Amino acid sequence: MGSSAAQADYAAFLEKFIPNYMGPRNIAECALVEMEDVRQAKAVLSEISQFPFMMSGMPRPVRARPAQVEMFDERPIKPGRRIQCRWLEENDPDFEIAREMKRLTNKHAAEAAFLQKKQLQEEEKLAKQQLDTLKGNYKKYEMVDSIMADGTARRLARHYNLRVAED
């Protein structure tokens, strides 16, 4: 526990956040964190992946992976690659292809949004479940505690000649 926090502490720089283009919602974002050297970076990666859970099985809200060029939108373009734009007429042979691609992109976006929604639901469900468990257990604890606190249990224990600890 606490390792991610420890890691954050060790991090040399928090370089910048990478916007999540999945949507405007309040969802996870990536951040570029630069360590002092490769060894440290590797250590962070392995620690975080090794301990994915926190107390009570809560998923650790941080994951780590090595940075790649593709993650950054301001990366320089590949040498020799140029993007060209042109208007396609309806009778253009490429028209349908382009249209299909457009549709596909839309579809993918919709699918991603759907998955995203589901994912958030799942997360919420898990959080709720964990909260419920915690609450349930806390309720139990309070219940036991109440019987201890008002002395009932202790008095009965005395009647029974049970020895119990004062806590």
Partner 1 sequence: MASSDDEADGLPQWVSNYYFEDDKDEPISFAVLPIQWKEGESQYGNKELIFLHGTTDNGLQKIYKHVIAWRFDLSDVNPQIYVLSKENNWIKLQKPRKSFEDIIRTILITVHCLHFLKKNPEASGKSLWDHLSKVFSLYEVRPSQIDLADHLPLLREAVTRDDTLAKSKFLCTFLNESPGKTKLCDENVQMTAMSGFIVDDVDDELLDEEDDESNEVEDVFDSVCAFCDNGGNILCCDGRCMRSFHATEEDADTCESLGLLQEEVDGLPTFVCKNCEYKQHQCFACGKLGSSDKFSGAEVFPCVNATCGYFYHPCCVAKLLHEENKAAAEELEKTIAAGGSFTCPIHKCCVCKQGENKKDLQLQLAVCRRCPNSYHRKCLPREIAFEDIDDEDIIQRAWEGLLPNRILIYCLKHEIDGELGTPVRDHIKFPGIVTAVEKKKETMEETKKKASDFVGNKVRDFSKKKNLAIENLSPRRNALKTAKQNLKLSSSKNSKKIVSVSDISRKGNVNASSRKLLRGNARSVSIEVDRSSTADENKPSLGNRLYDFMKGSGQVKPIKQDTHDAKVSKSEAVKLSTKKLSSAAPSLDADRERSLLALMRDAASSITLEEIKEKHKVPCGYAYSSKYNVDKNITLGKLEGSMEAIRAALGKLEEGFSLEDAEAVCEPAVLKQIFNWKQKLRLYLAPFLYGNRYTSYGRHFTKMEKLQEIVDKLHLYVQNGDMIVDFCCGANDFSVLMKKKLEETGKKCSFRNYDIFQAKIDFNFEKRDWMTVQPKELPTGSRLIMGLNPPFGVRASLANKFIDKALEFNPKLLILIVPPETERLDKKKPPYDLVWDDEQSLSGKSFYLPGSVDDNEKQMDQWNVRTPPLSLWSRHDWSAKHKIIAEKHGHLSKQQEELDIEKNHPENRIHDHPVDSHDHCGVNSAMIDDLPAQTDGPEKIRGGTVVSKCDKESSPRSKGDGESLQNEGYVKNLPKGYSKRKRKHDNEELGKQNGEISSDNKMDGGRPRHASPNIVDSRSSLENSQTKSREIPSHTEIGENGHQHFEPSTSGSRLQFAAAYGGNQAGISDDMGRMYYKSGNVSYSSGTHWQSMDVSPGSDYRGRNWEEQLAGRLRGSSDSLSHRSYGTRVEEMPTRDSDIRSQVRLYGQQDPDLPRHNYLAGHDHRYSQIESMPSTYGHPSMAADFSSYRMNASAVDLSYRMNTSAMQRYAPRLDELNQFARPMNTFGFEPSIMNVNGFYNYPESQPPRYQNSPMGFVPNPRHPYPH
Q: Which residues bind partner 1 (CB under 8 A)?
A: 1-10, 39-40, 43-44, 46-47, 50-53, 55-56, 96-97, 99-100, 103-104, 106-107, 109-111, 114-115, 118, 129, 132-134, 136-141, 143-148, 151-153, 155-160, 162-167
- Residue 134 CB: number of other CB atoms within 10 A? 13
Given the complex with partner 1, which of 42 and 75 has the nearer CB atom?
A: 42
Terminal-to-terminal C-alpha distance of the chain: 27
Measured between alpha carbons, how far is 143 from 74 in angstroms, rounded to an integer? 58
Cβ proximity to partner 1: between 72 and 95 the closer is 95
Least separation in angstroms between CB 50 and partner 1: 6
Of the pair 71, 110, the CB lying nearest partner 1 is at 110
- Give the residue with the Cβ less far from partner 1, 88 or 115: 115
Cα torsion through 34, 35, 39, 40, rounded to 10: -130
**Closest distance between partner 1 and the C-beta of residue 118, in Å?**
6
- To partner 1, the closest distance from the beta carbon of 15 in angstroms equals 18
Residues 6+ apart with CB under 8 A from 9: none
Contact between 48 and 7 under an 8 Å Cβ cutoff? The reply is: yes
